[in-house]
Amino acid sequence: MPDSSNPVVETDPRRTLATLKFQKAIAKLYEDLVRATHDAREKQSNEGIHTAASYARRTADALTARFQTVEELFEATYLHTYQQQPMSESDCAWVREQAAAVIDEQLKRVQDRIEQLCSSFVGSSPQQYSKYVASAESEAVLMKGRIDNSITIHMLEQKTVPAKHHDVSSQWDVFICHASEDKAYVETLAHKLTEAGVRVWFDRTAIDWGNDLRTTIDHGLKNCTYGIVVFSKAFLAKKKWTEYELSSLFALEEPGRTRILPIWHGISEAEMREYSPGFSLRLAKVSTTRDSYQEIVESVKNLVNKTATEGGQTPSATSQYPKREHQGPAAADAHYEMVGKAEPLVKFIVRTITDGSGDYVLETWVGTPLELSSTFRGTRIEVALKFTTADKEMQLKGYSRRGNFVGDRAFNLS
């Protein structure tokens, strides 16, 4: 692994941060790798010799596939560090050195696991071992080539794309997330917003023939100030692209930085609560019974103007997050992981607030390493309901609860 004690690394905070983030992420991945091979070995020993070849092959393939995950982690930590500031020639050389060290270390780990695999599975042969190792070595070569290309592309993009100022306005004021069944309503809304001078990302006008859907949508999501989400019966059916867009907008929210502007279109509060208790608590526009096109357009214009006046800061969806000196001890926490998949870790922490309000706050931490994603502040009962609902939603998504601390019985998850 790259040596974090290197004096060159220590003199550059960006290099230190990238190294520490990657080491933390790869440690978790290695734990999964050990667990996967152990589970396969246990399963094979229970089912007998006739399954040995199949388990050995699938486990070896899974080990080799880890190269791609390591590659994604490398780019997400090392290259992301240089998104906001240019990468010098020295930085570029350093990142390439780190990539070479990472690839060598990953190849050694996979070779060691393959050796253990072939010695543990009954019926494994030297030919199989050679085949699996050769496959891992080929993947390591491909990984090096892909990372080299990514670094080169990153350098060229910095030279050809003008640097953004820290307070640059987004390319679009609003991104409209909706189900295709609601196209008639949304098309009229998009037209009226555009007439009012609001810059709108709307799929019918933003996606051209031949565009890659995910790339184009991601660009719109990352470069919008707000996301208008039209919740309807069709939307609540949880379609692929609507869920992807909503999850992305939620992931982009930060404490004090709200992005999602909900519109309830032909649904009741009970239906919204069943779909997502958390989103049902947000103040929403109700298109069919209360809020006209004009009222929604005026509200969007006011928000956009306020954001521009305040230098890009948007109002919080919940009460103000407590100052550090007002954060009390944790009343409960729970953390989750998706076994066998490179999904981000998730942790919920409930804290008391000592500013005299009697409120509690629920923090949501996501990623590897964990970073604060969102907060919810409310009464003890409100936060307890939010906490238990979030636990159920995580398990429905396929996550496993790996730890749970309860210091207040109101937050008991069992």
Q: pLDDT tens for residues 3-31?
A: 444 444 345 777 887 788 777 777 766 66
Query: For the domain 172-309, what is the CATH code?
Result: 3.40.50.10140
* CA distance linking residue 244 with residue 249, whole number of Å: 9
Quick: pLDDT tens for 69-110.
777 777 777 776 666 566 777 888 888 888 888 888 878 877
Q: What is the pLDDT of residue 148?
A: 80
More confident residue, 142 or 308: 142
pLDDT for residue 245 is more than 90: no
User: Strands 346-353 and 327-337: what pairing?
Assistant: antiparallel
Buried b or exposed e, range 375-394, using 16+ CB within 10 angstroms: bbbbebeebbbbbbebbeeb
Lowest-confidence region among 127-131, 342-346, 389-393: 127-131
Per the model's pLDDT, the better-predicted residue between 365 and 124 turns out to be 365
The arithmetic mean of pLDDT across residues 272-281, rounded, is 78
Instruction: Write the single-letter amino acid at 401.
Output: R
Give the tens place of pLDDT for each residue, 348-391.
Answer: 999 888 877 788 888 888 877 777 777 888 888 878 888 888 88
Predicted confidence (pLDDT) at residue 134 exceeds the cutoff of 60: yes
Residues serving a catalytic function are: 245
Angle between helices 89-120 and 126-160 (to 10 degrees): 160
Give the Cα separation of 77 and 80 in Å (integer). Answer: 5
Range name among 37-41, 296-300, 398-402 with the lowest pLDDT average:
37-41
Closest C-alpha to 61, from 84, 43, 36, 87: 36
With a cut of 80, say whether residue 412 has pLDDT above it: yes
Mean confidence (pLDDT) of the chain: 76
Percent of the chain at pLDDT exceeding 70: 74
Res 141 pLDDT > 80:
yes
Note the pLDDT of residue 20: 81
C-alpha distances in Å from residue 189, one per residue of 183, 267, 345: 10, 18, 37
pLDDT (0 to 100) of residue 43: 58
Segment 313-336, tens digit of pLDDT: 544 434 445 555 567 778 899 988
pLDDT average, residue stretch 186-215: 85
Mean pLDDT of 108-126: 68
Who wins on pLDDT, 174 or 39?
174
Q: How confident is the model at residue 130 (pLDDT cuts 50, 70, 90)?
A: confident
Question: 3-state SS string over the chain?
Answer: CCCCCCHHHHCCHHHHHHHHHHHHHHHHHHHHHHHHHHHHHHHHHHHCHHHHHHHHHHHHHHHHHHHHHHHHHHHHHHHHHHCCCCCCHHHHHHHHHHHHHHHHHHHHHHHHHHHHHHHHCCCCCHHHHHHHHHHHHHHHHHHHHHHHHHHHHHHHHHHHCCCCCCCCCCCEEEEEECCHHHHHHHHHHHHHHHHCCCCEECHHHHCCCCCCHHHHHHHHHHCEEEEEEEECCCHHHCCHHHHHHHHHHHHHCECCECCEEEEECCCCHHHHHHHCHHHHCCCCEECCCCCCHHHHHHHHHHHHHHHHHCCCCCCCCCCCCCCHHHEEEEEEEEEEECCCCCCCCEEEEEEEECCCCCCEEEEEEECCCCEEEEEEEECHHHHHHHHHHHHHHHHHCCCEEEEEEECCHHHCCC
Split at pLDDT 50, 70, 90, the class of 56 is low
Over residues 144-149, mean pLDDT = 80
